[in-house]
């Protein structure tokens, strides 16, 4: 396997990452000279949606991803890269280099509780004083473009054109259909697409991954071609609804027929063989409440195996269109001076919409969607992998998206381009907040540690450091009560309902990346130290505690009902008036009958 050959060089490096040399958070002039070409490089940032650590071929996944794999072999892949557990906070961190609470995007509108609405850090839009990497690069003479998922607000001043992007064609929602301009869940009335800050319509031949690349290629042909560019593409792949052309999906029709337990074990074994985790590292049990593959009917098994086949096909389709962008840059002579960043916003999506809402099937039927094993990813398909396959995809990590277990935070990251020499995968602890300061440093920007929470990766990419954080550096994450703090090889973590229990636990993820052995009782001193570090992180960043009993699935139901009530108030008003009229009519009729009754 190509991934095995490529990763073999790291051996047990993951377990030694925390013992690396002192961090070098700033890029020195010498370092910059070593990595920065004679002219400022172009930047292409490719962000997948809900992609697991091992979903790519180069990381050991089942999907064919030759173009992304080629970027990894050309440059550097990272095996201990962390993001937030949810989409919008991760996107805000990527674009600013700040902790999500400092950007204003602490969580997403779908799951925010009433108690947090409007509080500082919880406006769910970039707050005053927050500067994106697009704005910083534009100030340095860059052309700046974006296509794809934004999900950071679309009120006045919220869209990309107000945050440093010259041109943009974006979706401001958590997701949408990949074939048509329509919503994928009742929370949204439609699919809100915008071009350059104004409502936009999609073409009739729309498919998300193809369109986002096509529109970006159009943008790259505009403006002063002597200026470098930033091209940021936020793919819808592989967010619900999972959809892709059948020519990509049908080749995987037999890949997942053995079920989720077999897939989770196979990925765990490949992770050991590839050096992603130490040999013998335990694999955590699935979260409570997940089903056994054998408990499903034959029809249900066929449906979920098909859903995973579409999931793999959607990954391959994304890779195919990334290959088209690479070929365009080669054809136009821009490839050699372009730095590529590829990563994911969080781990795999566990939602099973049909299991969480009695009215969802009715909504799907009335919006042209089919949950059927007969449709292999084309228009009208509504596919989702569910929590069991999401847990399998997250292997060797625990849990999945939204949670701060490894399955939610630990995702792939690849960098390639000028100044990044091919090297063995890096096991340095890196985060989504490191991307913005890294790009600024590579563009020749003056390092300013106070402007970012993240660290520049330039010293590491230049071969002048093996780590960007010391073992004493504490790094925190929090979204809607699901929280984690890393320090050296230790991880403190808490996950809330429905799949968590709100209990803080401590793990040594160097030897136990599956988070199977809680050390909070056996090492109380380290647990107290990590708790103190987390409290300091939360205070520093304005983290609010969650309301008692908070459950994200319950909250999204409440917020959806509230959103629909606001959208259809006139229907509710009319229904209410009709009920009142009927009651009044019944009352009048009864009174007349009472008068007519003989004494």
What is the tens place of the pLDDT at every residue in 267-300?
A: 999 999 999 999 999 999 999 999 999 999 999 9
**More confident: 310 or 598:** 310
Q: Beta strand pairing status for 193-195 and 198-199?
A: antiparallel
- Reported as a single tens digit per residue, the pLDDT across 515-550 is 999 999 999 999 999 999 999 999 999 999 999 999
Closest CA to 340 of 438, 459, 212: 438
| Phi-psi domain of 141 (left: phi exceeds 0; alpha: psi -120 through 50; beta: other) | left
* Same-domain check for residues 430 and 489: no
pLDDT for the residue 93: 98
Closest CA to 126 of 165, 169, 157, 172: 157
* Same-domain check for residues 321 and 203: yes
Is the per-residue pLDDT at 4 higher than 50? no
Element (H, E) at 476: strand 474-479
The distance between the two most distant Cα atoms of the chain, rounded to a whole number of Å, is: 108
Cα dihedral 323→324→326→332 (10° resolution): 160
560 domain-assigned: no
Q: Which of 444, 469, 494 is the last residue of a domain?
A: 469
Look at the block and give the residue holding tokens 């869209």: 159
62 domain-assigned: yes
Domain containing 493: what range? 476-551
**More confident: 559 or 261:** 261
* Same-domain check for residues 486 and 464: no
CA angle 11, 13, 15 (to 5 degrees): 115
pLDDT for the residue 212: 98
pLDDT for the residue 9: 39
Q: Give the list of residues 6+ apart from residue 564 with CB closer than 8 angstroms, or none.
A: 186, 187
CA angle 420, 424, 430 (to 5 degrees): 70
Catalytic residue among 87, 239, 320, 410: 87
Least confident of 72-76, 163-167, 498-502, 583-587: 583-587
Q: Which of 435, 451, 469 is the last residue of a domain?
A: 469
Would you say 446 and 29 are in contact if contact means Cβ atoms under 8 Å apart?
no
Is the per-residue pLDDT at 553 higher than 80? yes
Helices then strands, each counted (H, E), the chain: 20, 15
* Same-domain check for residues 436 and 512: no
- Reported as a single tens digit per residue, the pLDDT across 71-125 is 999 999 999 999 999 999 999 999 999 999 999 999 999 999 999 999 999 999 9
Q: Give the list of residues 6+ apart from residue 585 with CB closer than 8 angstroms, or none.
A: none
Res. 5 pLDDT band, cuts 50 70 90? very low
147 domain-assigned: yes
Q: Give the list of residues 6+ apart from residue 536 with CB closer than 8 angstroms, or none.
A: 474
558 domain-assigned: no
Would you say 195 and 169 are in contact if contact means Cβ atoms under 8 Å apart?
yes
Q: How many CA atoms lie within 13 A of 232 on its CB side?
A: 30
Question: Would you call 88 helix, strand, or coil by DSSP?
Answer: helix
* Same-domain check for residues 37 and 82: yes
**Using N-to-C axis directions, what is the helix angle for 569-596 and 552-567, rounded to 10°?**
70
Res. 575 pLDDT band, cuts 50 70 90? low
Instruction: Output the average pLDDT for the chain.
Output: 91
Is the per-residue pLDDT at 19 higher than 70? no
pLDDT for the residue 567: 64
**More confident: 18 or 355:** 355
Catalytic residue among 67, 101, 116, 151: 151
Res. 37 pLDDT band, cuts 50 70 90? low
Look at the block and give the residue holding tokens 């190509």: 2
CA dist 52 and 67 (Å) reads 18
pLDDT for the residue 3: 42
562 domain-assigned: no
CA angle 364, 370, 376 (to 5 degrees): 145
Q: Give the list of residues 6+ apart from residue 151 with CB closer than 8 angstroms, or none.
A: 87, 88, 91, 108, 171, 172, 173, 174
CA dist 187 and 161 (Å) reads 25
pLDDT for the residue 598: 57
pLDDT for the residue 563: 77
Give the count of beta carbons closer than 10 Å to the beta carbon of residue 100.
27
Provide the whole-model pTM.
Answer: 0.90
DSSP 173-229: SS---SSSS--SSTT-SS--EEETTEE----TT--HHHHHHHHHHHHHTSS-TTS-E
CA dist 105 and 115 (Å) reads 15
CA dist 321 and 312 (Å) reads 15
As a whole number, mean pLDDT of residues 361-376 equals 90
CATH of the domain at 512: 3.30.1120.10
* Same-domain check for residues 440 and 577: no
* Same-domain check for residues 127 and 197: yes
CA distances from 34 to 388, 434, 448, 458, 567 (A): 46, 19, 19, 9, 56
CA dist 13 and 279 (Å) reads 12
Element (H, E) at 171: strand 167-171
Q: Give the list of residues 6+ apart from residue 87 with CB closer than 8 angstroms, or none.
A: 49, 50, 108, 149, 151, 174, 239, 345, 346
CA dist 506 and 483 (Å) reads 12
pLDDT for the residue 214: 98
pLDDT for the residue 595: 64
pLDDT for the residue 418: 96
Q: Which of 413, 435, 469 is the last residue of a domain?
A: 469
**More confident: 381 or 585:** 381
Is the per-residue pLDDT at 18 higher than 80? no
Least confident of 30-44, 47-61, 344-358, 532-546: 30-44
* Same-domain check for residues 344 and 214: yes
CA angle 231, 234, 235 (to 5 degrees): 125
pLDDT for the residue 456: 95
As a whole number, mean pLDDT of residues 565-583 equals 63
CA dist 81 and 101 (Å) reads 20
Q: Beta strand pairing status for 490-494 and 482-487?
A: antiparallel
CATH of the domain at 154: 3.40.720.10
Would you say 371 and 267 are in contact if contact means Cβ atoms under 8 Å apart?
no
* Same-domain check for residues 131 and 70: yes
Look at the block and give the residue holding tokens 């095995």: 4
CA dist 165 and 143 (Å) reads 8
As a whole number, mean pLDDT of residues 123-137 equals 97
Q: Beta strand pairing status for 76-78 and 413-416?
A: antiparallel
- Taking only Cα atoms into account, the Rg of the chain, rounded to an integer number of angstroms, comes to 25
* Same-domain check for residues 376 and 324: yes
CA dist 157 and 264 (Å) reads 44
Is the per-residue pLDDT at 374 higher than 80? yes
Domain count, the chain: 3
For residue 39, which phi and psi values (nearest 5 degrees)? -120, 155
561 domain-assigned: no
| H, E, C per residue of 300-316 | HHHHHHHHHHHHHHHHH
* Same-domain check for residues 193 and 233: yes
Q: Print burial letters for 83-95: b (CB count within 10 Å at least 16), e (below 16).
A: bbbbbbbbbbbbb
Least confident of 62-66, 307-311, 383-387, 564-568: 564-568
331 domain-assigned: yes
250 domain-assigned: yes
Would you say 450 and 484 are in contact if contact means Cβ atoms under 8 Å apart?
no
| Beta-ladder partners of 48 | 344
Look at the block and give the residue holding tokens 């929470």: 453
* Same-domain check for residues 315 and 423: yes
Is the per-residue pLDDT at 188 higher than 80? yes
Residue 410 bears catalytic tag: no
Would you say 36 and 444 are in contact if contact means Cβ atoms under 8 Å apart?
yes
């Amino acid at each position: 396997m190509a991934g095995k050959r490529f990763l073999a060089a790291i051996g047990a490096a993951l377990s030694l990452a925390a013992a690396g040399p002192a961090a070098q958070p700033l890029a020195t002039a010498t370092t910059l000279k070593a990595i920065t070409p004679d002219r400022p490089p172009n930047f292409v940032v490719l962000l997948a949606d809900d992609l697991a650590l091992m979903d790519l071929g180069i990381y050991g996944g089942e999907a064919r991803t030759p173009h992304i794999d080629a970027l990894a072999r050309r440059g550097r892949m990272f095996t201990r890269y962390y993001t937030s557990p949810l989409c919008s906070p991760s996107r805000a961190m990527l674009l600013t280099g700040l902790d999500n609470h400092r950007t204003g995007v602490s969580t997403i509108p779908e799951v925010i509780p009433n108690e947090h609405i409007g509080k500082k850090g919880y406006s769910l839009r970039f707050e005053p004083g927050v500067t994106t990497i697009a704005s910083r690069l534009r100030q340095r003479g860059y052309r700046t473009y974006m296509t794809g998922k934004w999900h950071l607000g679309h009120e006045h001043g919220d869209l990309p054109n107000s945050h440093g992007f010259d041109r943009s064609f974006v979706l401001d929602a958590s997701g949408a259909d990949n074939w048509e301009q329509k919503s994928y869940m009742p929370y949204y009335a439609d699919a809100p697409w915008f071009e350059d800050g104004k409502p936009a319509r999609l073409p009739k031949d729309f498919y998300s991954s193809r369109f986002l690349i096509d529109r970006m290629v159009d943008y790259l042909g505009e403006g002063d071609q002597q200026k470098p560019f930033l091209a940021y593409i936020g793919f819808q792949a592989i967010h619900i609804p999972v959809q892709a052309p059948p020519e990509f999906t049908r080749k995987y029709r037999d890949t997942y027929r053995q079920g989720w337990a077999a897939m989770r074990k196979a990925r765990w074994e490949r992770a050991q063989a590839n050096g992603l985790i130490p040999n013998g590292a335990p694999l955590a049990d699935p979260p409570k409440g997940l089903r056994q593959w054998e408990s499903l009917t034959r029809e249900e098994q066929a449906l979920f195996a098909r859903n995973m086949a579409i999931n793999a096909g959607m990954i391959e389709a994304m890779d195919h269109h990334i290959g088209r962008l690479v070929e365009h840059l080669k054809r136009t002579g821009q490839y050699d001076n372009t730095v590529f960043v590829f990563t994911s916003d969080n781990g795999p999506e566990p939602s099973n919409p049909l299991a969480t809402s009695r009215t969802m099937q009715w909504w799907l039927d009335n919006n042209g969607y089919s949950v059927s094993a007969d449709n292999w990813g084309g228009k009208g398909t509504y596919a989702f992998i569910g929590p069991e396959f999401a847990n399998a995809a997250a292997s060797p990590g625990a849990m999945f998206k939204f949670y701060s277990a490894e399955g939610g935070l630990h995702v792939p990251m690849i960098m390639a381009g000028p100044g990044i020499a091919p090297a063995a995968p890096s096991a340095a602890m890196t985060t989504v907040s490191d991307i913005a300061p890294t790009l600024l440093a590579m563009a020749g920007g003056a390092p300013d540690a106070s402007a970012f929470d993240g660290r520049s990766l330039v010293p590491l990419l230049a071969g002048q450091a093996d780590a960007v954080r010391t073992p004493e550096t504490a790094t925190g994450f929090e979204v809607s009560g699901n929280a984690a703090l890393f320090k050296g090889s230790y991880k403190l973590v808490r996950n809330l309902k429905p799949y968590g229990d709100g209990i803080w636990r401590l793990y040594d993820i160097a030897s136990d990346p599956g988070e199977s052995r809680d050390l909070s009782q056996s090492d109380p001193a380290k647990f107290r130290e990590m708790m103190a570090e987390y409290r300091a992180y939360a205070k520093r960043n304005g983290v609010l505690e969650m309301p008692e009993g908070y459950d994200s699935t319950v909250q999204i139901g409440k917020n959806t009902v509230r959103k629909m009530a606001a959208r259809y108030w006139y229907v509710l008003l009319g229904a209410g008036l009709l009920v009142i009229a009927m009651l009044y009519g019944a009352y009048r009729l009864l009174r007349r009958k009472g008068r007519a009754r003989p004494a």
